């Protein structure tokens, strides 16, 4: 069987069906000033360094005709999909649903909720609007993965220990073979990113695998071109 032999903790198998790129929450809310991320007290500029690597990986998937799925952490205008506990959490002056510099915080119709232009979805790429940190909770993610006959998911996006890790763990529990891309995911807290990566590959890959985008691109080109 083909594999990405550089992956940790051991080679990541590449299937005969198509692996799927999952890009978690690369929306303005988390990487641009004035959004949800900054309202929580974070320096959002630290997340931007993954954009060029992620664009290279996305370009590779598109070129090879492999599926790409985007997610956004998003709520409807009425916030009927947002538990009061989520709105109340944190000590920010700007809460979910409040009017901020990029429109209402974390509301799907606002400018701040859109994916950054560099990584904007193209026609045919599903965008999952997820009200939770995980991509499966109250979404059609499972249905889309089934329709794509997906078994192998390559996870990227922000933030590593919150929405990316939650989604990857949910996928792992559902039987998907999950690979986290080290240089295509970022956290506001470098130590949390490192710990997440350590946790994923500990105990023989208890949650999945980790590798760098350069190795993944080169293996995908070898196998699927
Ligand atoms: N706060 C934080 O680190 N993350 C989130 O609230 N959502 C995502 O990770 N997308």
pLDDT of residue 124: 97
Regarding the beta carbon of 40 and ligand 1, being less than 6 Å apart is answered yes
**Residue 120 counted as domain residue:** yes
61 alpha carbon, distance to own chain's centre? 15
219 alpha carbon, distance to own chain's centre? 21
How many domains, in total, are found in the chain? 1
Span 137-170, pLDDT tens digits = 999 999 999 999 999 999 999 999 999 999 999 9
pLDDT of residue 93: 81
**Residue 147 counted as domain residue:** yes
**Residue 1 counted as domain residue:** no
Per-residue pLDDT, averaged over 22-40, amounts to: 95
- Asked if 49 is an active-site residue, the reply is no
pLDDT above 90 for 65: yes
Catalytic-role residue among 25, 29, 183, 211: 25
Span 66-120, pLDDT tens digits = 999 999 999 999 999 999 999 999 888 889 999 999 999 999 999 999 999 999 9
**Residue 10 counted as domain residue:** no
Query: How remote is the CA of residue 204 from the centroid of ligand 1, in Å?
Result: 27
Query: How remote is the CA of residue 163 from the centroid of ligand 1, in Å?
Result: 6
* pTM exceeds 0.95: yes
Q: How many residues does the chain have?
A: 225
pLDDT of residue 90: 85
Pocket test residue of 39, 130, 159, 193 for ligand 1, highest count of atoms within 8 A of CB? 159
Regarding the beta carbon of 159 and ligand 1, being less than 6 Å apart is answered yes
What tokens does 92 get? 């920010």
Catalytic-role residue among 20, 60, 82, 163: 163
**Residue 4 counted as domain residue:** no
pLDDT above 90 for 1: no
**Residue 68 counted as domain residue:** yes
How many other C-beta atoms lie within 10 A of the C-beta of residue 113?
Answer: 24
55 alpha carbon, distance to own chain's centre? 13
CA distance 38 to 31: 8
**Residue 162 counted as domain residue:** yes
pLDDT above 90 for 192: yes
**Residue 213 counted as domain residue:** yes
Q: What is the CATH number of the domain that holds 40?
A: 3.40.50.850
Domain that holds residue 181: 18-224
Span 126-135, pLDDT tens digits = 999 999 999 9
Regarding the beta carbon of 38 and ligand 1, being less than 6 Å apart is answered no
């Amino acid at each position: 069987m083909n594999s990405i032999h550089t992956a940790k903790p051991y080679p990541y198998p590449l299937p005969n069906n198509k692996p799927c790129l999952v890009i978690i929450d690369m929306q303005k809310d988390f990487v641009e000033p004035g959004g949800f991320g900054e309202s929580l007290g974070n320096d959002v500029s630290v997340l931007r360094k993954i954009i060029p690597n992620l664009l290279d990986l996305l370009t590779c998937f598109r070129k090879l005709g492999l599926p790409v799925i985007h997610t956004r952490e998003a709520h409807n205008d009425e916030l009927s999909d947002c538990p009061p506990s989520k709105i109340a959490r944190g000590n920010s002056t700007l809460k979910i649903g409040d009017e901020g510099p990029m429109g209402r915080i974390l509301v799907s119709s606002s400018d701040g909720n859109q994916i950054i232009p560099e990584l904007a979805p193209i026609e045919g790429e599903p965008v999952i609007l997820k009200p939770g940190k995980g991509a499966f909770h109250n979404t059609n993610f499972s249905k889309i993965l089934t329709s794509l006959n997906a078994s192998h998911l390559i996870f990227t996006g922000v933030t590593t220990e919150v929405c990316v890790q939650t989604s990857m763990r949910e996928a792992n529990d559902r039987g998907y073979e999950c690979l986290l891309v080290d240089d295509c995911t970022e956290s506001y807290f470098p130590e949390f990113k490192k710990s997440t990566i350590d946790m994923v590959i500990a105990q023989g890959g208890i949650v999945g695998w980790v590798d760098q985008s350069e190795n993944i691109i080169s293996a995908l080109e070898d196998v699927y071109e």
